[in-house]
Homo-oligomer: A and B are copies of this chain.
Amino acid sequence: MHTGRAFSILNYMVQRSSAHFNASFAALADATRRGVLDQLARGDASITDLADRFEMTLTGMKKHVGVLELAGLVTTEKVGRVRTCRIGPCRLEEEMAWIARYRRVWDARFEALEGVIDELKRQEKARGRKKRK
C-alpha cells in the first residue's frame, strides 16, 4: 500500500474516535478516578459515600465524577438530595482494541528488529571465521 494512502487511512481512524478516546484515556489518567471506577463496579454509591471513602471534599469528588461522566464511564441520578453514581455505558471496548492493535504492531516491530540483529550477528561471525582462515 502507498505510504500516503496508508497514512490517510490511519489519520481517519485516529480522528474518528479521537474525542471519545481523549475523554476516556484522560479519565483513566488519575488514581482517584480509577479507584472510583473500581468502587462503582462493585456497587452504586452516592457522591458523599465516594468523597468519604477517598477522603476528599464533595466538590473535589463531584469534579472527578464529572470527568468520568463525560467519558461515559459513570452515570449519575439525583433522587431527592442524593446523587447516586453507577458505572456507565462505556465498557472501554475501543480503548482495549486500540491498545491491542498497538501491541501487535509493537511486537511485530521488535521481532523485525531482532531479525536484523540476528543477521548482523551472523555476518559478524562469518567475518570472524574468514579472518581466522
* Chain A residues packing against B (C-beta within 8 Å): 7, 10-11, 14-15, 18, 21-23, 25-26, 28-31, 34-35, 37-39, 41-42, 53, 87, 91-93, 95-96, 98-100, 102-103, 105-107, 109
Contacts and interface: CB of A to CB of B under 8 A. Distances in A.
A103 B99 contact: no
A38 B25 contact: no
Q: How many copies does the complex hold?
A: 2
Nearest to A108: B41
Which secondary structure characterizes the binding site on chain A? helix
A14 B39 CA distance: 11
B31 A15 contact: yes
Given A41-B102, A92-B99, A95-B99, A10 B35 contact: yes
